[in-house]
Amino acid sequence: MNIEVANRLVEFRKKNGLSQEQLAEKIGVSRQAVSKWERSEASPDTDNLIMLARLYNVSLDELLKTEEDIPIPEKEEPKQEEQPEASGFDNSAEQTENNSGNDKKNEYVHIGLDGIHVEDGKDSVHIGMGGIHVQSKDSDNVDVSHEGVFVNGERVDEKWKKKHRHSIWSSFPYVIVCIIAFLGLGFFAGLWHPGWMVFLTIPLFYGLVEAITKRNMNKFPFAVLTVIVFLCLGFFLGMWHPGWIVFLTIPIYHWIGHEINRHRKENSKVEINFSTDDD
């Protein structure tokens, strides 16, 4: 968009005493969209131009007029939102983010009738009636809706269903649940740490499904469970010692699972031989 038109949009907004957030709310767009218009990085569509003209009580010709020289205004700095600090936890990760001003300026949370929209400069998450949409500059883009689960535009839930069609829980998008839980703990409670531990439950969930389906205790990732227990004892109770003792239960668990599997196989052989003798 022409820089003069962008400057005129800034001039009309300020003449009407509106901030970028207030203007965005009145015409039903995000604050980032208004900011991009005023920085000449994007152009409002026809419907938005009409709404702007009605809001400012001017014609479209006057709104888009570029003959006059308009001074370039100073860019407005978005206000930083204060994150609540949770007592009793080490918030070193959050303090590191506070020290990098650029990341904080790009954080944005919008909750409305259209759903929940969260941005942090690099990643954005939208949760609404249409599903869950996660866009990332450094990682995969994920879309979950009634049409299926797509990663970078490729549908992946059909492959998972074919591989684990024997269990409905195997196709449950537990990873997405963990992402939503982590973002909720981080943005609304400030628990980036130790909220990241929710991701450790992912192998537990799918391991438990496989262990139950195949009736094999050793399929369950018991070692991951002991790590979670150890971290909880350390972070919440300060029992790093003697909390490490939980790791001694790993060989005991697998020995019990091995014995159960061995007895099950022996019983199966006895049943087969018994049925053969009857024949």
Whether the pTM exceeds 0.85: the reply is: no
Average pLDDT, the chain: 77
What tens digit of pLDDT does each residue of 84-97 get?
444 444 444 444 44
Q: Residue 56: its pLDDT value, please?
A: 86
Q: What is the pLDDT of residue 263?
A: 86
Q: What is the pLDDT of residues 37-88, one digit of tens each?
A: 888 888 888 888 888 888 888 887 887 775 545 444 455 555 555 554 444 4
pLDDT in tens, 223-242: 999 999 999 999 999 999 99
pLDDT tens column, 137-192: 666 777 777 667 777 777 776 654 555 455 567 678 899 999 999 999 999 999 89
CB-facing half-sphere around the CA of 213: CA atoms within 13 A: 14
Domain boundaries, the chain: 3-63, 215-279
Q: Residue 132 — pLDDT band, cuts 50, 70, 90?
A: confident
Give me the CATH code for the 3-63 domain, please.
1.10.260.40
